[in-house]
Amino acid sequence: MCFYKHLKQYVYKNANKRTQIQSQTITALQQREFKMTSTQKKLTRLSASVSLVFGTLLAVSNSAYAASFTTTVQQDNGAKGDTFLKSITQNGKTTDKFNLVNKVDILSNTAVDKTKGSNADASLNKGVTNNTGAASTDKGDNASSPTAVSGVSDPTGGDIAAYMGNTNLNNIVDTEEAGSFVMNMFFQNQVKEDNSGLDSFYIFERGFQEMIYKDGKVMKDEQGNVVREQAGNSSISVRAIDAAGNVIGKALKLTKQTQTDAGYSIDTTEIGGAQRVGSWGISLADLGVSDLLVAGLQLSANGYEHNGPDFKLVGRMHDRPEFESATTPEPGSLLALGAVGGLAFFKRRQKQN
């Protein structure tokens, strides 16, 4: 009887120990699970915070690249005088190094009709125009220029290149509203994306905050007042081109509604008073050529669809000059480089041996 009593007590005691151990184990597991759950929650919150911060950075980045730019000019003798581009500031960065046009191929340009207008005589080619044709050279009334304005003569590619190939923003191409043109404009240096946060090309267009035209006529309201808008009065189409003049990437139409105020005015020989200037910035991404070497831009306008843009085109000198060289190594140079590389390899092997 005593034996059975001790056995019963032993079993009961061990059963209590097992219960305690099981209870402690369960408690430990619960605590571990709680800690894991807390950690997971913290990691989840941290992940959400990181995602939020990263998303905010992306949002800031996207909005930053969409921001407009500030143009600094030096203007002599008011709107009719020289207006030199000094710098462009965008996304907190400023550049004063510009990549200028040095060659223009005119693919098409509506010809001047010398039978129209009171100034049709070509001998009067001293700044006069009969407002026919399409693109021609123009300048501020008192501004310097590389050549005389084309006036009632059709401009050559050399004429256009000379007016685009300087930083005087009062040397421009003037386009008649009804005319059409297509031109390939090549820059001094080819460019490739350098991720600087600055656009690669800038177009300045005379006529910001101008009258609204419809079918070539100035729009008026019911009271007969001229309708105006906070925008340019013209659009222009742009495509990137390679060194051979082939179009690459995608077409881009810069509309008058997307212009921003450039902050200055000009008064040229073809107009009777000063007009504000609008501007567009163009990145390589806009043109779909972020990974390509770009030699220039093809600019075009088609009659009243674009309404005769009067513009100046300027490029930015990129931060990575290795992308600006158009030169491709000759086969002989490549062989020489290969030989030098092979010699260096064998010398290293000899030293190791």
Q: Which amino acid is at 287?
A: L
For the ranges 55-59, 120-124, 225-229, 237-241, the lowest mean pLDDT is seen at 55-59
Residue 142 has pLDDT above 50, yes or no: yes
pLDDT number for residue 131: 78
Q: Over the stretch 295-349, which tens digit does the pLDDT of each residue have?
A: 999 999 999 999 999 999 999 998 765 444 443 344 454 455 555 555 555 555 5
Spatial contact of 188 and 277, defined as CB atoms under 8 Å apart: no
CA distance 253 to 40: 50
Query: At residue 281, does pLDDT exceed 90?
Result: yes
Q: Residue 213's pLDDT is what?
A: 61
Regarding predicted confidence, which is higher, 114 or 178? 178
CB neighbours of residue 113 within 10 Å: 13
Q: Residue range 273-288: average pLDDT? A: 95
Average pLDDT over all residues of the chain = 77
Mean pLDDT over 131-149 rounds to 93
Q: What pLDDT, on a 0 to 100 scale, did the predictor assign at position 57?
A: 30
Across 170-229, the runs of DSSP E, i.e. the strands, are 171-175, 180-191, 201-208, 213-214, 217-218
Rounded distance between C-alpha atoms, residue 221 and residue 214, angstroms: 13
Residues near 177 by beta carbon (within 8 Å), at least 6 away in sequence: 213, 216, 303, 304, 307, 308
Identity (one letter) of the amino acid at 64?
A: A
Residue 27 has pLDDT above 90, yes or no: no
Report the 10 Å Cβ neighbour count for 159.
22
pLDDT of residue 59: 30
Collapsed DSSP state (helix, strand, coil) of residue 330: coil
pLDDT tens digit string along 62-110?
Answer: 322 334 899 999 999 999 999 999 999 999 999 999 999 999 999 999 9
Identify which of 312, 304, 313, 310 has the alpha carbon closest to the alpha carbon of residue 179.
Answer: 304
Q: What is the pLDDT of residue 122?
A: 45
Residue 10 has pLDDT above 70, yes or no: no
- Looking at per-residue pLDDT, the higher value among 56 and 11 belongs to 11
**Range in 54-58, 129-133, 230-234, 328-332 with the lowest mean pLDDT:** 54-58
- Give the tokens for residue 49: 């915070």
The structure's pTM equals 0.68
Task: Please work out, in degrees rounded to the nearest 5, the angle formed at the alpha carbon of residue 245 by the alpha carbons of 297 and 277.
Answer: 15
Residue 239 is predicted with a pLDDT of: 98
Main-chain dihedrals φ then ψ at residue 260, nearest 5 degrees:
-120, 155
Tell me the C-alpha distance between 71 and 73, whole Å: 6
**Residue 44 above 80 pLDDT?**
no
Q: What's the pLDDT score for residue 120?
A: 45
User: Helix, strand, coil proportions of the chain in percent (round to 5)?
Assistant: 30, 30, 35
Q: Alpha-carbon distance 282 to 260, whole Å?
A: 13
Candidates 193, 195, 198; CA nearest to 91 is: 198
What does DSSP assign to residue 296?
E
Q: What is the pLDDT of residue 221?
A: 73
